[in-house]
């Protein structure tokens, strides 16, 4: 059964990607084994039972044209299942209503997840067009379930008995009952017929708008390239970055003697950090920050205006003053007021720090004999210089110790030390692209846990950023576990003909972050699909991911996995010390850049009146001026490419990363106190946080793990603010 507001795709803070909705996996069920009715379905692997190891998807045989018939059939089967639940003449019970609902729609969801995964990770125009056609149909299908009065009446009948002694439910079952009841109410089950009809129209339009938004960002990102054909313009750039740029030129069919820089982070950021060519930095930076705002066919401003208007209307229909009120009612934060109060506590010291950092960079410019004013496209370049001066640390010094394969092994080692997990590469499981690798994940005793796919390099068919997705969630049927299939995607530095993939510290951190989400999916131990894995409150979901970032810079752990790719020597203690010393460096910038986007997100979603398309950039400017963002820092995502909130599930929720940072900073202290790999602490973290999904209240779970509630100070301390 597909779900509202649940999270199946989770993103790193620096990422953006198309919306992914939570769905239910396929299982070996009689319906999948039904004989195909025509020759076209007979050839369609989406109709068949999957016979690959662990019932993994036959990616090698799935084609674009398979999706439409499979989804059409999936909707039909799901409707039949829902009809049977809603029209059951027996009295409504937990089993014949809630449990049955949780188990419905498996065939549809299996396909839908695959489609959404490919849209994010390996898309093409044909697939995009299919998804755009299907979006309103799927949206309508969801609404027909959530707005089905007979079905809701049965859910409510069970819900109304929740405190009676005749209903004996275990805590997870009780949670499922309350969760579904709330899902239905939030989806409009209590509205009258006219309101329901309007809500359906709104949802369909929003579904299409979100896809369009993501597609525009992808097109705009791919459309730009900075071509350099004069070797002297490469001055200052590290050799590996030049080699990657030459490779990018070759891939684009350019003649030799040309280099290409793109708006993908592994290309863009080193250029901004190392190129002394201020004019070129300005050019590529402006291209980056103007994506979706170029007045062309891929301009997103009208999409934003329309999305905001529809979300407001939907919130009002459902009885909320604003979209943010509606969204936050289902999060730990509860109200917009709480979010702003929380943001303000960190913003004030962070903004002060950013002023200090800007003036230090301005002094460096003066010391070089220049008299220009620091601009946003100068920040990376001078920050990198200052880092070198103050801490004798050059980001490029770290790369040789962060060969991708070593970093992956480091992540696996950490999971092994904490939870005893083992990762075994498999070559017999189909993949959708040659870059994808597959690992079987096992318990310490060798028993099977699930499958982890990794897909780490940028390409034109892939969205930017890094994310985790569940191709199949863990759940139990008759007490027997259906094992999860989890994917981690990233856009990390690619290998070149002479060098393996060597990552930056930020990329390493990103890999560990997504790996943390993967563990949340892999170690899930729930019965119900609606509650399992990452199906938790959005401002809780980043705890399992962000906590993993903490280990990355711990000397005790670094020396275990960070080895020089040529010599095999561990990272020297002096270099580790330099990383530690520099950890508060540029934190004003990082915090302000992120938090300004959090405020912008909130401001967009507390409007009580629509905003015109031609007013979109003005609205953004006002929101950023109100908080006093300095002009030398550009908000991490400007509205026309803020996919988290306009194409993803983070609307009125971008603050979640910082919210969860309070939890993860505080939770990691527990490991610091007892030992970095302390078995008892790890066991508790696995049990109370990683295995429980949304089967209990998140704060209750946290308090059980930690023995108390967390405090904001943990973040200020961590960031040195």
In the block, which residue shows the tokens 């009676």?
164
Q: Say if residues 328 and 186 touch (Cβ distance below 8 Å).
A: no
Q: Map the footprint of Zn ion across residues 381-440, applying CB under 5 A.
A: none
Strands 259-261 and 10-11, sheet pairing = unpaired
Cα four-point dihedral sign 225, 229, 235, 240: positive
Half-sphere exposure of 588 (CA within 13 A, CB side): 20
Q: How far is the CB of 179 from Zn ion (least distance, A)?
A: 22
Q: Map the footprint of Zn ion across residues 300-329, applying CB under 5 A.
A: none
Q: Identify which of residues 303 and 598 has a Cβ nearer to Zn ion in the complex.
A: 598
The C-alpha angle 119, 289, 337, rounded to 5 degrees, equals 85
Q: Binding-site residue total for Zn ion (CB under 5 A)?
A: 4
Residue 279 and residue 375: Cα distance in Å, rounded? 11
Q: Identify which of residues 400 and 521 has a Cβ nearer to Zn ion in the complex.
A: 521
Residue 190 and residue 186: Cα distance in Å, rounded? 9
Q: How far is the CB of 517 from Zn ion (least distance, A)?
A: 6
Name the residue among 660, 697, 705 with its Cα closest to residue 550.
Answer: 660
Q: What is the CA radius of gyration of the chain?
A: 25
- SS3 percent helix, strand, coil of the chain, rounded to 5, is 55, 5, 35
Stretch that binds Zn ion, among 179-187, 226-234, 289-297, 545-553 (CB under 5 A): 545-553
Ramachandran bin of 292, using left for φ above 0, alpha for ψ from -120 to 50, beta for the remaining angles: left
Stretch that binds Zn ion, among 19-27, 433-441, 541-549, 666-674 (CB under 5 A): 541-549
**Considering the rule CB under 5 A, would residue 10 count as an interface residue with Zn ion?**
yes
From 32, 81, 220, 514, the catalytic residue: 514
Q: How far is the CB of 658 from Zn ion (least distance, A)?
A: 12
Q: How far is the CB of 670 from Zn ion (least distance, A)?
A: 20
Q: How far is the CB of 513 from Zn ion (least distance, A)?
A: 6
Name the residue among 212, 464, 601, 17 with its Cα closest to residue 8.
Answer: 17
Compute how many other C-beta atoms are within 10 angstroms of the C-beta atom of residue 229: 11
Residue 434 and residue 495: Cα distance in Å, rounded? 14
Residue closest to Zn ion, measured at CB: 545
Residue 330 and residue 184: Cα distance in Å, rounded? 13
Q: How far is the CB of 634 from Zn ion (least distance, A)?
A: 22
Q: How far is the CB of 590 from Zn ion (least distance, A)?
A: 16
Q: Identify which of residues 226 and 541 has a Cβ nearer to Zn ion in the complex.
A: 541
Stretch that binds Zn ion, among 42-50, 194-202, 543-551, 610-618 (CB under 5 A): 543-551
Q: Identify which of residues 17 and 526 has a Cβ nearer to Zn ion in the complex.
A: 17
Strands 10-11 and 467-472, sheet pairing = antiparallel
Stretch that binds Zn ion, among 12-20, 134-142, 171-179, 192-200 (CB under 5 A): 12-20
Q: How far is the CB of 544 from Zn ion (least distance, A)?
A: 9
Residue 396 and residue 241: Cα distance in Å, rounded? 10
Q: How far is the CB of 467 from Zn ion (least distance, A)?
A: 7
DSSP assignment, residue 464? S
> Token digits for 397?
């010094």
Q: Identify which of residues 8 and 545 has a Cβ nearer to Zn ion in the complex.
A: 545
Q: Say if residues 204 and 140 touch (Cβ distance below 8 Å).
A: yes
In the block, which residue shows the tokens 């908080």?
627
Q: How far is the CB of 10 from Zn ion (least distance, A)?
A: 5
Q: How far is the CB of 512 from Zn ion (least distance, A)?
A: 11
**Is 514 part of the annotated catalytic residue set?**
yes
DSSP 501-525: -B--HHHHHHHHHHHHHHHHHHT--
Q: How far is the CB of 356 from Zn ion (least distance, A)?
A: 29
Q: Identify which of residues 3 and 12 has a Cβ nearer to Zn ion in the complex.
A: 12
Distances in whole angstroms, Cα of residue 504 to Cα of each of 403, 404, 491, 554, 558 = 9, 10, 12, 16, 14
Q: Say if residues 110 and 84 touch (Cβ distance below 8 Å).
A: no
Q: Identify which of residues 158 and 468 has a Cβ nearer to Zn ion in the complex.
A: 468
Distances in whole angstroms, Cα of residue 534 to Cα of each of 540, 690, 698 = 9, 9, 12
Please name every residue paired with 424 in a beta bridge, in sequence order, or none if there are none: 440
Among 545, 639, 656, 695, binds Zn ion (CB under 5 A): 545
DSSP 551-605: HHT-HHHHHHH-B-TTT-PBPPHHHHHHHHHGGGTTHHHHHHHHHHHHHHHHHHH
Stretch that binds Zn ion, among 54-62, 469-477, 535-543, 667-675 (CB under 5 A): 535-543
Q: Say if residues 336 and 602 touch (Cβ distance below 8 Å).
A: yes
Distances in whole angstroms, Cα of residue 576 to Cα of each of 386, 572, 668, 685 = 18, 6, 20, 27
Strands 422-426 and 259-261, sheet pairing = unpaired
Distances in whole angstroms, Cα of residue 718 to Cα of each of 97, 321, 541, 585 = 47, 36, 20, 12
Strands 485-489 and 448-455, sheet pairing = parallel
Give kind and range of the element (H or E) at residue 488.
Answer: strand 485-489
Stretch that binds Zn ion, among 40-48, 429-437, 540-548, 699-707 (CB under 5 A): 540-548
Give kind and range of the element (H or E) at residue 666.
Answer: helix 656-674
Stretch that binds Zn ion, among 193-201, 473-481, 537-545, 643-651 (CB under 5 A): 537-545
Stretch that binds Zn ion, among 2-10, 32-40, 302-310, 386-394 (CB under 5 A): 2-10
Q: How far is the CB of 657 from Zn ion (least distance, A)?
A: 7
Give the residues lining the site for Zn ion (CB under 5 A): 10, 12, 542, 545
Q: Mind telling me the catalytic residues?
A: 514
């Amino acid at each position: 059964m597909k779900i509202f507001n649940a999270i199946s795709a989770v993103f790193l803070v620096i990422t953006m990607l198309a919306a992914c909705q939570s769905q239910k996996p396929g299982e070996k069920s009689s319906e999948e084994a039904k004989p195909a009715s025509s020759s076209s379905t007979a050839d369609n692997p989406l109709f068949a039972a999957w016979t690959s190891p662990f019932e993994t998807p036959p990616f090698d045989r799935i084609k674009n044209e398979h999706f439409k018939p499979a989804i059409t059939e999936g909707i039909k089967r799901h409707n039949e299942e829902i009809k049977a639940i809603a029209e059951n003449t027996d009295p409504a019970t937990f089993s014949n209503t809630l449990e049955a609902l949780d188990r419905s729609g498996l065939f549809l969801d299996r396909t839908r997840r695959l489609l959404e995964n490919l849209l994010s990770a390996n898309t093409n125009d044909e697939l995009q067009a299919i998804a755009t056609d299907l979006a309103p149909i799927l949206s309508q299908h969801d609404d027909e379930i959530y707005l089905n009065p007979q079905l809701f009446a049965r859910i409510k009948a069970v819900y109304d008995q929740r405190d009676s002694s005749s209903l004996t439910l275990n805590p997870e079952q009780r949670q499922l009952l309350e969760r579904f009841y709330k899902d239905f109410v939030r989806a409009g089950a209590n509205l009258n017929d006219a309101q329901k009809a309007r809500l359906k129209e709104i949802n369909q339009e929003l579904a299409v708008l979100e896809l369009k938004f993501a597609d525009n960002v992808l097109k705009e990102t791919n459309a730009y390239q900075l071509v350099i054909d004069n070797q002297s313009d490469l001055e200052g750039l590290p050799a590996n970055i030049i080699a990657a740029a030459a490779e990018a030129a070759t891939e684009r069919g350019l003649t030799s003697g040309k280099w290409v820089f793109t708006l993908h982070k592994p290309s863009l950021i080193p250029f901004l950090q190392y190129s002394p060519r201020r004019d070129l930095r300005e050019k590529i930076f402006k291209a980056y920050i103007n994506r979706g705002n170029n007045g062309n066919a891929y301009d997103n401003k009208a999409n934003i205006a329309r999305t905001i208007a529809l979300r407001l209307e939907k919130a009002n229909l459902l009885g909320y003053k604003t979209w943010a009120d509606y969204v936050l009612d289902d999060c730990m934060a509860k109200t917009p007021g709480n979010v702003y109060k929380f943001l303000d506590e960190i913003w004030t010291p962070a903004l002060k720090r950013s002023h200090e950092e800007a003036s230090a960079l301005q002094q460096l410019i003066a010391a070089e004999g220049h008299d220009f004013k620091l601009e946003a496209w100068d920040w990376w370049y001078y920050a990198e210089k200052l880092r070198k001066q103050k801490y004798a640390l050059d980001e490029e010094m770290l790369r040789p110790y962060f060969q991708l394969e070593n970093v992956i092994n480091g992540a696996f080692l950490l999971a092994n030390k904490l939870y005893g997990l083992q990762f075994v590469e498999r070559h017999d499981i189909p993949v959708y692209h040659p870059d994808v690798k597959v690992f079987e994940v096992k318990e310490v005793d060798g028993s099977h846990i699930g499958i982890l796919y990794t897909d780490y390099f940028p390409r034109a068919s892939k969205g930017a950023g890094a994310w985790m997705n569940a191709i199949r969630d863990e759940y139990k049927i008759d007490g027997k576990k259906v094992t999860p299939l989890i994917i981690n995607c990233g856009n990390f530095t690619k290998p070149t003909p002479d060098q393996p993939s060597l990552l930056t510290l930020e990329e390493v951190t990103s890999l560990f972050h997504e790996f943390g989400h993967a563990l949340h999916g892999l170690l899930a131990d729930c019965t119900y699909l609606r509650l399992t894995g990452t199906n938790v409150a959005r401002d809780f979901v980043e705890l399992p991911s962000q906590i993993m970032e903490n280990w990355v810079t711990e000397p005790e752990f670094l020396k275990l996995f960070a080895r020089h790719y040529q010599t095999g020597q561990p990272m020297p203690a002096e270099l580790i010390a330099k990383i530690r010393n520099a950890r508060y460096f540029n934190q004003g910038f990082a915090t302000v850049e992120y938090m300004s986007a959090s405020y912008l997100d909130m401001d967009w979603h507390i409007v009580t009146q629509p905003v015109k398309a031609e007013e979109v950039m003005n609205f953004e400017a006002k929101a950023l001026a109100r908080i006093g963002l300095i002009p030398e820092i550009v908000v991490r995502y400007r509205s026309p490419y803020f996919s988290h909130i306009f194409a993803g599930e983070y609307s009125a929720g971008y603050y979640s990363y910082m919210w969860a940072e309070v939890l993860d900073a505080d939770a990691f202290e527990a490991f610091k106190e007892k030992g970095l790999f302390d078995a008892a602490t790890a066991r508790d973290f696995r049990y109370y946080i990683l295995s429980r999904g949304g089967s209990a209240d998140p704060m209750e779970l946290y308090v059980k793990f930690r023995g108390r509630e967390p405090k904001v100070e943990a973040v200020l301390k961590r960031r040195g603010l």
